[in-house]
Amino acid sequence: MRSSTPLNSTALACILAALAMLGPFAIDTYLPAFPAIQQSLQAHALEVQQTLTAYMLSFAVMTLWHGALSDSFGRRNVILIALSVFAVASFGCASAHSIHYLWGFRILQGVSAGAGMVVGRAIIRDLYEGPEAEKLLSLVTMIFSIAPAIAPILGGWLVGIWGWRAIFLLLFGYTVVLWIACYRWLPESLTIDKRQAFSADFLWTSYRQVFRSRLFYLKAGTIAFNFAGLFLYISAAPAFITQHLKLGADQFGWQFVPTVGGIFLGALAANRMAGKLRVWTQVNAGFCFLIGAACLNVAYHAAFPPQVFWSVLPLFFYAFGMSLVAPGATLLVLDLFPDIRGVVASCQSASVTFISALIAGLVAPALDHAVVSLALGQLVCCLIAAGLWYSSRHFSRSQM
């Protein structure tokens, strides 16, 4: 079933943003619940932390397939099936009676959560081009940025009132409502005549084409490492908030609200710049904020102890710069292979998630003992991203 009335760009952005919110809702809402989960399931702190790693790794692996499946079976069908799986997984998490069951259902959540984000980008590029596509991407980011702001606060409230299982019941209800909305109103942007045959040959050729492209690694890596610098703080939030800033489990908003404010305002600025500035100029401006914020973060914490205002202020400017970079860089990645945008969107999203999984599983636990270590980790991430971006520009010029 499809809506007889085509969605306007704002309505489409709302649905796509709601789909993209599944990822941060599945992560950020349950971060304040780590101590409660550990006590309830009689698990070690590291075992609870690994529920996040299990989710991220399965999310990363499956993002390689969402786009390819949508290239063959349609964008809308893949989203509806993924939402069904996520709903079942969320109910399973709420019912888990051991940490091992929670691992299993978190993996199932990770397998399905990324479909909306990956396929949503392909839908935008199917329907729009140039500045219009960039504006819609930034609009989706602006709406989507609500999720990381409210998710940890909402999670803290739910844990305090009804317990950690209520978080996953909320995710279940949200997914059911979203499935109904997508079933009724989400358009199919890839007509049957434009779909690719789903076969081993097609998949091998498509993935080989993408993964043999040096420009793909450089441009997708730019987005991945910029986000890694922010995700380092997201995955280290329990230690950053409670141990270093000495705040309670219901006060995660002190970190997440400024961060999301930066994402929102950066996306708003990118929306206004679309079509007025060249993509390269806009991205360069974003890197000025990214590198400046990361350097300020290191300098402050090398000299002074953590304080709420000065410890979260650099995160605001880092997130602002990241949102300036992301829309233009994402479109450049998708336009590398116009005939297989679903596959490209999958590969690009997988690169972000693989790096984020490594950050959550290895880097954050190694660095969260000190705020200055986290700041240095963030600086390294954005310097790697900048190096990849300017290398891609040099390589593009050499190919001309």
The predicted-structure confidence for 362-397, as pLDDT tens digits, reads as follows 899 899 999 999 999 999 999 999 999 999 887 766
- Crossing angle, helix 253-273 and helix 308-334, to 10 degrees? 40
The predicted-structure confidence for 140-170, as pLDDT tens digits, reads as follows 877 877 777 788 778 888 988 898 999 999 9
The amino acid occupying position 254 is W
Domain 9-185+209-399 has CATH 1.20.1250.20: yes
Task: Point out the least confidently predicted range of 188-197, 237-246, 263-272, 299-308.
Answer: 188-197
Task: Name the band, by pLDDT with cuts 50, 70 and 90, for residue 334.
Answer: confident
pLDDT given for residue 4 in this prediction = 40
The pair of structure tokens assigned to 209 is: 């084409």
The answer to whether residue 3 scores a pLDDT higher than 50 is no
**Other CB atoms within 10 Å distance of the CB of residue 202:** 16
Q: Which of 109, 110, 103 is nearest to 58 (CA)?
A: 110
Q: Which of 190, 297, 315 is nearest to 254 (CA)?
A: 315
Q: Are 126 and 189 in contact (CB under 8 A)?
A: yes
E strand or H helix at 390, and its extent?
helix 371-399
Rounded CA separation 325/263 (Å): 11
Sketch the domain layout of the chain as residue ranges. Answer: 9-185+209-399
Average pLDDT along the chain:
87
Average pLDDT of the segment spanning 219-228: 94
- Say which residue, 245 or 57, is predicted with more confidence: 245
The answer to whether residue 235 scores a pLDDT higher than 50 is yes
Q: Tell me what percent of the residues of the chain surpass a pLDDT of 70.
A: 96
Task: Name the band, by pLDDT with cuts 50, 70 and 90, for residue 213.
Answer: very high
pLDDT given for residue 142 in this prediction = 78
Average pLDDT of the segment spanning 22-39: 86
The predicted-structure confidence for 112-140, as pLDDT tens digits, reads as follows 998 888 888 888 888 887 778 878 888 88
**Best-predicted range by mean pLDDT among 11-15, 30-34, 220-224?**
220-224
pLDDT given for residue 398 in this prediction = 62
∠ CA 138-89-180, nearest 5°, is 55
pLDDT given for residue 105 in this prediction = 95
The predicted-structure confidence for 99-110, as pLDDT tens digits, reads as follows 999 999 999 999
Q: Tell me what percent of the residues of the chain surpass a pLDDT of 90.
A: 40
